[in-house]
Each structure stands twice: as structure tokens, then as C-alpha cells.
């Protein structure tokens, strides 16, 4: 048994949520050396590093798996946003079971499958976190009716815009996973408009703040003794990451010309080095990917260097369709439910075939 004690210095797992347009992505871009996985395509106006937009759960899983072993020089991974990631999981679950919607499963089974897929994503994020990378997940907020068992009546409160049911609560799972849950919103005040103070209206809405502790009106938490309310500015939490001010560049030394007392000998002429001609890098093989295929499948093929013939070979080996059947003739439910949803199982078979040359779909 290995017993340790004392404070451990580890990366931070943070969730930042709030209404649309509050500036969650901009706030996340201030974290140390961030890399964005932009699931909703909302960072086009930000000068940030980002991966390709994951068009499927398989593609998102591939990105996270690669970052587990190689951070590519980044210190923070930003998953933007959780609710759009949940949509990707819903589509993957429906495609795999060939369902048109999550409610078609019946008895809440579909939501259970989505809950499990979101859990797998958090497990992958945990591996990345353990390898030394900060994790930030942004999410939209939604107002829900809330009723406590020991209180009379119900009231509205802000919550994460995620599946929130007793048996498969993605919202609760994400809050438990995080070290810090920050709720960002516009500061509003209730002002009386009559002498008796019975009629009131809301004012403000221009000041942005973030809440760091739980309140009956919102979810929030932190493990760093932060004040309950702070301006919505990364500078308020920069100390948690050991951020230090960037030192000013050193001034260039002044050049003083001393008076010349005698003529100096001319400097010897340097022979210019002869440039070395380098052989051009071999061109990458051109992939045959039909334009009419779903974008999710095309993204997976491009990112893994998979040609149409590679897929046709595996499909024929598994006995689904003859090798000569073009991908464009595959049924849509087969493409969505097998090629895309089960890409993680097909890719190792494709890579194994790529090691051996073949002719007319038959390996040597």
C-alpha cells in the first residue's frame, strides 16, 4: 500500500457555463496555451488553435486518444461545448441502433446509452488530464423548474443544458467530474418602481460576473477558496495556474561609435555558401474519397489515410457486400450504423490490410 499526504499539484478540470453570447469561448481562450475542440464551430472569430470540427463520435474519440499521448505543445484542452458534444453522442447512439430519434428506444434506454457515451468521453479527458493537461469544458445554460423534497413549491434555477434525469443525469456527472464549475451571467438588480416597493423591475445586464459557489438559483463549485462572485475575467483565476506577468523585452544595447584614429583594414570578403539542393519530399498518396459520402465518413477517411478501396476490402472480407460494390451504393443505414458508428472496430482491420499489397481486392 502506497500512502501519500500533502497537497498535490495537478492540472485543473474546469466547467464554464452560461447563457449564449456571454463570452465562454473567449474566457477559455485565456487559459494557458489552449487547444480547442470546437464541436459547434463558434470559434471562427477567435485567434486560437483548434482541431478539425469532429463530425462524428468516432472522430472525436480519435482526437482525444491522440492527445492522450501527444499534447502537441499545448497546456490546456478546451472542449467547446458539452451540449453539442452530447448531440454528437445522441447521433452516434441513434445511428448505431438505426433509430431516427432518441425517444424511439423507449423506456429511457436511449438516454442511458448517451449517458454511457458521455462517460467514456470524460474517461478519455481524465487520461489527458492525468498526462499533465488542463481540461476546460464550456456549456450553455438553461433555466429549469426545480423542486426540493423538503420545501413547498418550486422555483426556477440555472443549470447545465444537458440531459438531466434521475437515472442518467449527464449534468450531475459533469459537475462531479470537475474541480471547478463556474457560472457566468449578466449582473442584474431588482429596483422598486413605486413608493410602496411592491412593484419592481430588473435593471443592469451590462456587467458580466461569474459565480463560484452553489446557490439556489444556479450550480457552481470550486476547490480553491474563491470568492462567491467575481468579474468574468480570467485574470481573477490566473493565479490558480501559476500565471505570471510576461516580462518586458530587454532593451537593445546602445551602439556608441568611437572616433576613429586611423583607417581600419578592410574586412575579408566572406565566400557565400553554396546552397545545398534538397530532394523534394515525396507527395502524399491521393485518396479516392467520393464527394457524395457523408461528411462524417469523409473526415474519418482523411484523418486516417483511408481510401475507398480500403473500406470496400474490409466490407467484402466481413461478407457484407462484394468488393466491386462502390461505397456510394451502400445503404445509408449501413454507412451510418456500421462504417461511422463502428469505425473504432473497422479501422484496425483496415490498417492490417494496408500492410499487405493486394490486387483486385485479394491480398497476396
User: Which grid coordinates belong to 191?
Assistant: 429596483
User: Which grid coordinates belong to 148?
Assistant: 426540493
What pLDDT is stored for residue 354 in this prediction?
Answer: 78
User: Which grid coordinates belong to 347?
Assistant: 479501422
Is the CB of residue 65 less than 8 Å from the CB of residue 124? yes
What pLDDT is stored for residue 355 in this prediction?
Answer: 77
Cα distance between residue 210 and residue 48, in whole Å: 23
| Domain range summary for the chain, segments of one domain joined by + | 13-240, 295-355
Q: Could you identify the residue written with the cell 450531475?
A: 172
The β-bridge relationship of strands 34-38 and 76-80 is: parallel
What pLDDT is stored for residue 251 in this prediction?
Answer: 45
Helix axes 308-317, 343-354, angle to 10 degrees: 100
Is the CB of residue 305 less than 8 Å from the CB of residue 348? no
Cα distance between residue 325 and residue 343, in whole Å: 19
Cis peptide before 294 (omega within 30 of 0): no
Cα distance between residue 80 and residue 76, in whole Å: 12
282's CB contacts (< 8 A; 6+ apart) are none
User: Which grid coordinates belong to 142?
Assistant: 438553461
What pLDDT is stored for residue 269 in this prediction?
Answer: 55
Q: Nearest to residue 305, comparing CAs of 330, 323, 285?
A: 285
331-334's contacts with Cβ under 8 Å and 24+ in sequence apart are 333/98
Cα distance between residue 180 and residue 182, in whole Å: 6
What pLDDT is stored for residue 199 in this prediction?
Answer: 58
Cα distance between residue 221 and residue 95, in whole Å: 36
Q: Nearest to residue 179, comparing CAs of 139, 145, 129, 132?
A: 129
**Sequential pLDDT tens for the chain (364 residues):** 888 887 778 899 999 999 988 999 999 999 999 999 999 888 888 999 999 999 899 999 999 999 999 999 999 999 998 999 999 999 999 988 888 888 888 888 889 999 999 999 999 999 999 999 999 999 999 988 776 666 656 678 899 999 888 788 999 999 999 999 999 999 876 555 555 655 555 555 578 999 999 988 899 999 999 999 999 999 999 999 875 543 444 444 443 444 444 445 555 555 555 555 555 555 556 888 888 888 888 888 888 888 888 888 888 888 888 888 888 888 887 888 888 888 888 888 888 887 775 554 444 3
Domain 13-240, what architecture? Answer: 3-Layer(aba) Sandwich (3.40)
User: Which grid coordinates belong to 200?
Assistant: 419592481
What pLDDT is stored for residue 194 in this prediction?
Answer: 57
- Global pTM? 0.75
Backbone angles phi, psi at 131, to 5 degrees: -85, 0
Amino acid at each position: 500500500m502506497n500512502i501519500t499526504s500533502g497537497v498535490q499539484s495537478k492540472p485543473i478540470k474546469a466547467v464554464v457555463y452560461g447563457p449564449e453570447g456571454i463570452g465562454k469561448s473567449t474566457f477559455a481562450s485565456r487559459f494557458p496555451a489552449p487547444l480547442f475542440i470546437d464541436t459547434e464551430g463558434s470559434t471562427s472569430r477567435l485567434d486560437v488553435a483548434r482541431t478539425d470540427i469532429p463530425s462524428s463520435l468516432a472522430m472525436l474519440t480519435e482526437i482525444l486518444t491522440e492527445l492522450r499521448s501527444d499534447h502537441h505543445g499545448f497546456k490546456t484542452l478546451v472542449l467547446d461545448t458539452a451540449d453539442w458534444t452530447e448531440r454528437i453522442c445522441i447521433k452516434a447512439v441513434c445511428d448505431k441502433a438505426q433509430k431516427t430519434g432518441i425517444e424511439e428506444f423507449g423506456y429511457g434506454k436511449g438516454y442511458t446509452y448517451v449517458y454511457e457515451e458521455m462517460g467514456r468521453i470524460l474517461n478519455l479527458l481524465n487520461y489527458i488530464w492525468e498526462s499533465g493537461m488542463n481540461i476546460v469544458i464550456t456549456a450553455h445554460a438553461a433555466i429549469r423548474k426545480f423542486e426540493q423534497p423538503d420545501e413547498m413549491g418550486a422555483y426556477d434555477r440555472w443549470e447545465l443544458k444537458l440531459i438531466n434525469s434521475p437515472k442518467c443525469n449527464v449534468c450531475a456527472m459533469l459537475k462531479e467530474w470537475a474541480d471547478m464549475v463556474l457560472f457566468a451571467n449578466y449582473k442584474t438588480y431588482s429596483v422598486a418602481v413605486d413608493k410602496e416597493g411592491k412593484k419592481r423591475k430588473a435593471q443592469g445586464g451590462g456587467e458580466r460576473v461569474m459565480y463560484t459557489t452553489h446557490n439556489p438559483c444556479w450550480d457552481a463549485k470550486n476547490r480553491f477558496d474563491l470568492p462567491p462572485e467575481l468579474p468574468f475575467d480570467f485574470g481573477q483565476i490566473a493565479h490558480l495556474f501559476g500565471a505570471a506577468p510576461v516580462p518586458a523585452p530587454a532593451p537593445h544595447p546602445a551602439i556608441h561609435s568611437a572616433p576613429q584614429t586611423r583607417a581600419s583594414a578592410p574586412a575579408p570578403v566572406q565566400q557565400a555558401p553554396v546552397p545545398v539542393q534538397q530532394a523534394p519530399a515525396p507527395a502524399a498518396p491521393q485518396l479516392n474519397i467520393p464527394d457524395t459520402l457523408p461528411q462524417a465518413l469523409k473526415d474519418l477517411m482523411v484523418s486516417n489515410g483511408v481510401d475507398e478501396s480500403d473500406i470496400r476490402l474490409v466490407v467484402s472480407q466481413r461478407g457484407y457486400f462484394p468488393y466491386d460494390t462502390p461505397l456510394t451504393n451502400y445503404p445509408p443505414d449501413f454507412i451510418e450504423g456500421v462504417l461511422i458508428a463502428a469505425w473504432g472496430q473497422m479501422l484496425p482491420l483496415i490498417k492490417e490490410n494496408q500492410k499487405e499489397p493486394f490486387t483486385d481486392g485479394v491480398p497476396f
